[in-house]
A and B are shown apart, each in its own frame.
Chain A
Amino acid sequence: MRRITYRQALREALQEEMERDARVFLMGEDVGIFGGNFKVSQGLIDKFGEERVRDTTLAETVIIGAGVGAAITGMRPVCEIMLADFVGVCFDEIYNKAGKWRYMHGCEVAVPMVIRTPMGCRGGGGAEHSQCPEALFLHGPGLKIALPSTPYDAKGLLKAAIRDDDPVVFFEHKLLYDLEGEVPEEEYIVPLGKAAIRREGQDVTILAYSFMVHKALAAAEALAANGIEAEVVDLRTLVPLDVETVLASARKTRRVVIIHEANKRGGAGAELAAIIQEKLFGVLAAPVIRVCAPDVPIPFSPALEKVYLPDEEKLQQAVRELLAK
């Protein structure tokens, strides 16, 4: 099968959906001729023109607010927020408008929009250019959240998100844009709400998403060398959450470790751990453990950033400690 990058996969998804549906259009800062800060939309303006690949003003509130307005009047906007940290500027528009407009206005209108945004540390970004803010939106009713970890999923999930009738916050990880992987030429979709078991194992379940899936797989390989077989579940989407797959794996291994790059307090891991213990309290052999960044702002210095980030060594250590219990 051919191999393309995560970035190319995203671009193909955008192009194919724009070809398929005239209501789909892109808007955001520098998404046009410049092709987006991470070059995901590069070349699309040549195919679709400035009408459908819109450079906006430097104004996140109107990027998302106008996206909601367009979505409730018959269009299917794909809005880009240059960095996930900037969701704070348009938080009301995502959390309250995109997420709640339908319900509070009588459940009649749909809000079919995608908010694409790059997240994560990639070295030296510091506190306001490196964050993973998915948990903020996990708490908000009405939103869906996708976090692809591979080129295959990047394309398939983005296509599903664009076709979905609900607002989807779509987190792309900056360190994945150059990742190559198998992506078929033919049309496919990765449905929202279906986790992928990336590695089977019976000793412990590792729940991960986005870039941390790769850290989890690296840790699992290292653990296997010591006779520990970890099952790695890539959640792919946090809303909808594939509770069935999560619980089936947890029931099988009776031990669960959750890894995410975002800081621990109030993170997605807290919700996952709560669901698992609510459903499987008597089944579990040990507490559900979280391997996450600490609750500090992300430091600039690479020396500190390395300490900050969860990685395969920290994950391995957590698994070993868990199995010793």
Chain B
Amino acid sequence: MLPEKNVLVELYRKMLLDRYLEEAMVELYRQGYIPGSLHLGIGHEALSIGTTVPLRRDDYLVFSHRGVGHSLGKGVPARTILAEFMGRATGCSLGKGGVHLSDFSVGCLGISGSQGGNIVIATGAGLSAKMRGTDQVTAVYFGEGTANRGCFHEGINQAAVWRLPVIFICENDLYSYSTHQSKIMLRENVADHAYGYGIPGVVVDGNDVLAVYEAMQEAIARARAGEGPTLIEGKTYRWRGHHEKDPALYRDPAEVEAWKQKCPIKRFELFLQAERIISPEEQASIQDEVRQEVQEAIDFALNSPFPQPEELYRGVYANPAGILDLI
């Protein structure tokens, strides 16, 4: 069943916000405003937004290193995300995390530096929700490369055995850094692993936001009803390199172009127009609003202060008694 118009508009709006913000980050990175390595999720928007919009504010999210879209989908403000990537004191992790985006007020629990480290943490968040007797759901994200790590097996199997409300989402974009999926696994679908854990495994077109949304809703309903985890695999493609210094020469330009033709946002726009869900005027006005929001986020981040030097020492421990005098 097609979601209500307000949901469709929210999906569209947030996909656009993700795209525009990440495109702005490409420029800001080039200009030197964003230090370190920047891993963008341009091309992934149907998955990052389609799986987060159906979640409640108190549900938990443990995304991976391409977490801009997921954060926006869950309700983290664009301005604090951007300020974080720019190392500012106003960032959502106070400028101490960078890629480690978090916002506990909307259930964004953070990211693991090691790929897949987040999977076992999500299992724990699911365990916590179950033990506390809430119906909170945890969603966790990883790529097809990470699905070969031991923590994938340990986290999903334990969640399956304990029937935990955790949704494991594989964003399969064909390449783990430079390595094609065909070199790292014999089967076509990561979701096939679900059979081994005794849980449902679902393969979905990861560029079709409505298909993603529907699969996610089913998984959420299962999780809230105490029926345990689901493994969802969305097939998609990242348009940029693994990070912004990676020109991704290991990919055939024709392949990249073919996937760009399958742009999840364009595709959704065509659908919304064909079904007469939003008018061209509405669409233009949403685009203007989102552009403005991104510009405000840029202004906010650029005008934000860097952390004070003493911030280096603060907060290592929640209870620093007996420790600070050593620093």
Contacts and interface: CB of A to CB of B under 8 A. Distances in A.
Nearest to B126: A69
A73 B129 CA distance: 8
A239 B322 CA distance: 8
Most chain A C-beta atoms within 10 Å of own C-beta, residue among B154, B315, B319: B154
A267 interface: no
A108 B104 contact: yes
Nearest to B119: A65
Contacts, number: 159
Interface in A73-117: 73-75, 77, 92-93, 96-97, 101-112
Q: Shortest 8 CB-CB distances between A and B: which pairs? A: A69-B124, A65-B120, A107-B315, A240-B322, A66-B124, A193-B322, A165-B318, A105-B102
Most chain A C-beta atoms within 10 Å of own C-beta, residue among B132, B157, B158: B158
A61 B132 contact: no
8 contacts: A59-B154, A64-B120, A70-B128, A104-B96, A105-B97, A106-B315, A241-B322, A243-B326
B155 A65 contact: yes
Nearest to A77: B124
A164 B325 CA distance: 19
Contacts of B167: none
B131 A105 contact: no
Contacts of B314: 107
B280 interface: no
B104 A62 contact: no
Interface stretch (B26-34, B49-57, B107-115, B200-208): B107-115
Contacts of B127: 66, 69-70, 75
B122 interface: yes
Interface string B68-92: 0000000000000000000000011
Interface in A155-195: 164-166, 192-193
Given A25-B131, A69-B121, A103-B316, 19 more contacts: A57-B161, A62-B123, A62-B155, A62-B157, A64-B120, A65-B119, A70-B124, A74-B132, A92-B114, A97-B112, A102-B316, A104-B93, A106-B93, A106-B96, A107-B314, A109-B109, A111-B318, A165-B317, A243-B325
Contacts of B109: 69, 72-73, 105, 109
B154 A106 contact: no
A93 B120 contact: yes
A72 B125 contact: yes
Contacts of B100: 104-105
B321 interface: yes
Nearest to B158: A62
Interface of A: 25, 51-52, 56-57, 59, 61-62, 64-75, 77, 92-93, 96-97, 101-112, 141-142, 144, 164-166, 192-193, 239-243
B94 interface: yes
B43 interface: no
B234 interface: no
B150 interface: yes
Given A57-B161, A104-B110, A69 B122 contact: yes
A69 B158 contact: no
A89 to B, nearest CB: 9
Contacts of A68: 120-121, 124
Contacts of B132: 74-75
A69 B316 CA distance: 18
B214 to A, nearest CB: 27
Contacts of A72: 109-110, 121, 125
Contacts of B97: 104-106
